[in-house]
Amino acid sequence: MASPDKLVYMANQIGKFFACQKGRAAEGIADHVRKFWHPTMRQAILAHLEEGGAGLDPAVREALTMLRLAKG
């Protein structure tokens, strides 16, 4: 299992890739995390968000919030 620091780094890298999609970056990030991250990785990054989300870029934070809300 990756550490929270590693997950933050990975999520922010995904965010950088989708940054060119103005207004849709968060959707792209959320879709990527939903499709390609193992469930335990998603749970860990969402837990990190719940604990304050230190180090997460704004678009990544928005994307993870979208995932959390969709999860119910």
Q: pLDDT per residue over 25-71, tens digit each?
A: 999 999 999 999 999 999 999 999 999 999 999 999 999 999 999 97
Q: Indicate the pLDDT class of residue 22, thresholds 50, 70 and 90.
A: confident
By the 8 A CB rule, do 48 and 1 touch? no
Q: Is 20 exposed, middle or buried (0-12, 13-18, 19+ CB in 10 A)?
A: exposed
pLDDT at position 71 is 79
What mean pLDDT comes out for the span 5-32?
A: 96
pLDDT at 72 over 70: no
Enter the tokens of residue 72: 């119910």
Domain ranges within the chain, ordered by starting residue: 4-71
